[in-house]
Chains A and B, each alone.
Chain A
Amino acid sequence: MKTTLDEQELEQIFQQRIDNEQKIEPKDWMPEAYRKNLLRQISQHAHSEVIGMQPERNFLTRAPSLRRKAVLLSKIQDEGGHGLYLYSAAETLGTPRSELIEALQSGAAKYASIFNYPTQTWGDVGAIGWLVDGAAIVNQVSLQRTSYGPYARGMIRICKEESFHQRQGYEIMIALAQGSEAQKQMAQDSLNRFYWPSLMMFGPHDSESAHSARSMKWKIKRETNDDLRQKFIDQTVPQIMFLGLEHPDKEIRWNEQRQHYDHGEIDWDEFNAVINGNGHCNRQRMEHHLRAHEEGTWVRDAMTAYKEKQRKREVQVA
């Protein structure tokens, strides 16, 4: 009689659970490729939260009212917090945070390309909240049903905070759009610069996406890149209209038959350039991260040394 299941049988049971919408938990058996794929996605998401603090931080010391400063501080803090939950979710797959951060710093792991665009005006802070967080939410709402338990639960928590972020961003845009001529121009300019990169956040077309098919089968991803992107395009049109701004996509048209907006094509050369490290801020983002990390080495060492001394003192007392 056979006492252990072979790989193939385990995989069948695993797929069965996924098909039945049961969550996979850290101690459950999972195919190595599932683990790797998830780790790649969750850590990329965590790194994005952390690197994403940089472009917003750029306006923290200049926020044009104390209220805006307080809101922005609390938003950036939330993002750091999201980074923490996500690193913890990734750690449940057996890789410690220090290794994940090393992978980010060596370039082996990626973060969302959108954060390689510079924030130049206060309007960009609004556009990031509205469009970038808005696009992230579309994706994350769908990930609340992802098959890996810790990731799905993390997403539920993160989505709540992200919708607050999107509202604060849109509120900044409303204030600008209803403000002086210069403020309106600022709003339009930020929309123009952040619209297309936000669409790129959903990744390549489904036909070009390297990881899509298997991720769908394993329900790591629940909807395709193009479907999610379409959702975002559709929801953004009335928001732009409400602001009284001009749509950056000249080909945007309602398609009665599809019940969706038709739209112009993304500049995929730009997309690839930024992904491959050649965007506006790729180098600065990584340098900033590395510098802070290296400058913090002696602090982390001191913490370890202190903890060790405390431990020894406790042993002596005991």
Chain B
Amino acid sequence: MSDEDLKQATLDYTLRLGDDALVLGQRISEWVSNGPFLEEDIAYGNVALDYIGRARMYYGYAAELAADGRSEDDFAYLRSEREFRNYLINELPRGDFAYSQVRQLLVDQFNTAFLDRLVESRDATLAAIAAKGIKETRYHLRRSREWVLRLGDGTAESRRRAQKGLDDLWGYTHELFEPDALEQRLAKAGIGVDTAALKSQWQQAVAATLGEATLNLPQEDWAVRGGRTGYHTEYLGHLLGELQSIYRSYPGCRW
């Protein structure tokens, strides 16, 4: 791979990671003033803030790599649904509190393993972003894990809701561990992470939490894929429509 190719690949990769952070941060922020009690409004706001901060770091680095005058906001606000490359699990609607917390567990457990490797990236900026992110993510995981335990092992209703959330989300977890050619190339180059190698560790950790929460590991063999190729659910367009509405209504303005 030439230097130029590598730079382009790193840019594409960085945008994917930025998209994951932005889209999930946007989703989580919907909980603010909608939580079951005030402490949860604050906690969700805090987690959303970490993700938005992370998106800014990735997009800021992408702007540096692109070096064509585009800013972090241009990446967030001016790309369309087909150009976004986030994993599908991040764009699914917030659902009920159990659905959201189960998603957080699945994603936090993934991010813990992922960022733990990304800190070793040969790319100093990605490594630095990961180093900051891993600290936040460990805290996120502690929180989502505790909630899944409470909900799974709480009342019959909370257990039913948590199990349903888990069953509905499970099929979206497969693509997290299926790196495409670009991701494999970057992993070989020591820049990106080979997520296929994270799967068994992830599965073990998730299974342990679910077991403790008295929830059943889904057995059904279904999978929906497409995030990394821009083949999204119908939800993403609405999420972006809302996110981008003001920025796009006033082209070229500063805020």
**Candidate in B37, B77, B246, B255 with the most chain A CB atoms within 10 angstroms:** B255
Contacts of B158 in A (CB 8 A): 298-299, 301-302, 305
Contact partner of B37 among A53, A183, A296, CB < 8 A? A296
Complex alpha-carbon distance, A295 and B245, angstroms: 29
**Interface size bucket, B side?**
35 or more
Contact partner of A73 among B32, B59, B243, CB < 8 A? B32
State whether the Cβ of A107 lies closer than 8 Å to any Cβ in chain B: no
Chain A, residues 65-84, CB within 8 Å of chain B (1/0): the string is 11111100110110011011
Instruction: With A54-B33, A73-B45 as known contacts, state yes or no: A180 contacts B250, CB within 8 Å.
Output: yes
Contacts of B56 in A (CB 8 A): 66-67, 70
Contacts of A293 in B (CB 8 A): 36
Contacts of A305 in B (CB 8 A): 154-155, 158
Contacts of A179 in B (CB 8 A): 253-255
Chain A 276-318 residues near chain B, CB threshold 8 A:
288, 292-293, 295-303, 305-306, 309
Question: Which stretch from A2-10, A55-63, A242-250 is at the chain B interface?
Answer: A55-63
Contact (Cβ within 8 A) A61 B242: yes
**Top 4 A-B pairs ranked by shortest CB distance?**
A296-B36, A302-B154, A302-B158, A299-B36
Contacts of A54 in B (CB 8 A): 33
Complex alpha-carbon distance, A77 and B44, angstroms: 9
State whether the Cβ of A141 lies closer than 8 Å to any Cβ in chain B: no
Contacts of A299 in B (CB 8 A): 36-37, 40, 97-98, 151, 158
Chain B 64-94 residues near chain A, CB threshold 8 A:
72-73, 76-77
State whether the Cβ of B55 lies closer than 8 Å to any Cβ in chain A: yes
Complex alpha-carbon distance, A179 and B246, angstroms: 14
Complex alpha-carbon distance, A183 and B249, angstroms: 11
Instruction: With A73-B29, A296-B97 as known contacts, state yes or no: A302 contacts B49, CB within 8 Å.
Output: no
Contact (Cβ within 8 A) B255 A65: yes
Contacts of B34 in A (CB 8 A): 292, 295
Contact (Cβ within 8 A) B250 A182: yes
Contacts of A300 in B (CB 8 A): 36-37
> Secondary structure at chain A's binding surface: helix, strand, loop or mixed?
helix
Complex alpha-carbon distance, A62 and B33, angstroms: 16
Chain B, residues 40-59, CB within 8 Å of chain A (1/0): the string is 11100110110011011001
State whether the Cβ of A148 lies closer than 8 Å to any Cβ in chain B: no
Instruction: With A65-B247, A298-B161, A306-B149 as known contacts, state yes or no: A60 contacts B29, CB within 8 Å.
Output: yes
Complex alpha-carbon distance, A219 and B61, angstroms: 54
Contacts of A172 in B (CB 8 A): 255
Instruction: With A53-B32, A54-B33, A288-B33 as known contacts, state yes or no: A64 contacts B242, CB within 8 Å.
Output: no
Complex alpha-carbon distance, A61 and B28, angstroms: 10
Given contacts A54-B33, A61-B26, A65-B247, 10 further A-B contacts (CB under 8 A): A60-B32, A61-B243, A62-B246, A64-B247, A64-B253, A69-B52, A297-B36, A299-B37, A302-B158, A309-B153
State whether the Cβ of B150 lies closer than 8 Å to any Cβ in chain A: yes
Contacts of B4 in A (CB 8 A): none
Please, which residue of chain B has its CB at the minimum distance from the CB of A98?
B37
Minimum CB–CB distance for A68 against chain B, Å: 6
Contact (Cβ within 8 A) A68 B255: yes
Contact (Cβ within 8 A) A77 B42: yes
State whether the Cβ of A50 lies closer than 8 Å to any Cβ in chain B: yes
State whether the Cβ of B30 lies closer than 8 Å to any Cβ in chain A: yes
Instruction: With A182-B250, A298-B158, A302-B151 as known contacts, state yes or no: A65 contacts B33, CB within 8 Å.
Output: no
State whether the Cβ of B218 lies closer than 8 Å to any Cβ in chain A: no
Contact partner of A306 among B30, B32, B154, CB < 8 A? B154
**Candidate in B33, B41, B48, B49 with the most chain A CB atoms within 10 angstroms:** B33
State whether the Cβ of B3 lies closer than 8 Å to any Cβ in chain A: no
Contacts of B42 in A (CB 8 A): 77, 80-81, 84
Complex alpha-carbon distance, A83 and B33, angstroms: 12
Contacts of A60 in B (CB 8 A): 29, 32
Contacts of A176 in B (CB 8 A): 255
Complex alpha-carbon distance, A76 and B41, angstroms: 9
Contact (Cβ within 8 A) B150 A302: yes
State whether the Cβ of A122 lies closer than 8 Å to any Cβ in chain B: yes
Please, which residue of chain B has its CB at the minimum distance from the CB of A178?
B254
State whether the Cβ of B221 lies closer than 8 Å to any Cβ in chain A: no
State whether the Cβ of B1 lies closer than 8 Å to any Cβ in chain A: no
Contacts of B242 in A (CB 8 A): 61-62
Chain A, residues 123-141, CB within 8 Å of chain B (1/0): the string is 0000000000000000000
Contact (Cβ within 8 A) B45 A295: no
Contact (Cβ within 8 A) A76 B45: yes
Contacts of B77 in A (CB 8 A): 64-65
State whether the Cβ of B39 lies closer than 8 Å to any Cβ in chain A: yes
State whether the Cβ of B237 lies closer than 8 Å to any Cβ in chain A: no
Contacts of B161 in A (CB 8 A): 298
